[in-house]
Amino acid sequence: MSTADATPLIVHLIHRLDVGGLENGLVNLINHLPPDRYRHAIVCLEGSSDFRLRIQRPGIEIISINKHEGKDWGHYLRLFHTLKRLRPQLIHTRNLAGMEAQLLAAAAGVRLRVHGEHGRDIHDLHGTKRRYRLLRRLLKPLIGHFIAVSRDLENWLVDTIGALPQRVTHICNGVDSLQFHPRLGPPDAIGPQGFIAERSFVIGSVGRMAAVKDHMTLVHAFLMLLAHGGGPSPERLRLVIIGDGPCRRACLDVLGAAGAASLAWLPGARDDIAPLMRGMTVFVQPSLAEGASNTVLEAMASGLPVIATDVGGNPELVQPGWTGTLVPPRDPGQLADAIRDYDRIPGLAAQHGIRARRRVLQEFSLAAMANAYLAVYDGLTRQPPIKG
Tell me, which fold does domain 201-363 have in CATH?
Rossmann fold (3.40.50)
CA distance 153 to 168: 10
Residue 5: pLDDT band (50, 70, 90) is: low
The pLDDT, as a whole number, for residue 244 is 95
**pLDDT tens digits, one per residue of 198-254:** 789 999 999 999 999 999 999 999 999 999 877 778 889 999 999 999 999 999 999
Helices (H), 280-344: 294-301, 314-317, 332-344
Comparing CA positions, the residue from 86, 132, 71, 81 lying closest to residue 107 is 81
- Please tell me the distance from the alpha carbon of residue 226 to that of residue 232, in angstroms, as a whole number: 8
pLDDT of residue 388: 39
Task: Tell whether the model's pLDDT for residue 4 goes beyond 80.
Answer: no
What pLDDT sits at residue 229?
73
Residues of the chain with CATH 3.40.50.2000: 3-174+365-381, 201-363
The 3-state secondary structure of 333-383, one letter per residue: HHHHHHHHHHHHCCCHHHHHHHHHHHHHHHHCEHHHHHHHHHHHHHHHHCC
Task: Write down the mean pLDDT value for the chain.
Answer: 93
Q: What is the pLDDT of residues 302-350, one digit of tens each?
A: 999 999 999 999 999 999 999 999 999 999 999 999 999 999 999 999 9
Rounded to the nearest 5 percent, the helix, strand and coil shares of the chain are: 45, 20, 40
Class at the top of the CATH hierarchy for domain 3-174+365-381 = alpha beta
pLDDT per residue over 42-86, tens digit each?
999 999 999 999 999 999 999 999 999 888 899 999 999 999 999
CA atoms of 316 and 328, how far apart (whole Å) = 15
With a CB cutoff of 8 Å and minimum separation 6, the contacts of 17 are: 23, 26, 42, 44, 47, 48, 49, 51, 52, 62
pLDDT in tens, 241-271: 999 999 999 999 999 999 999 999 999 999 8
How many C-beta atoms lie closer than 10 Å to residue 217's C-beta? Answer: 23
The C-alpha atoms of residue 85 and residue 110 are separated, in whole angstroms, by 11
For residue 62, what is the enclosing H or E element? Answer: strand 61-64
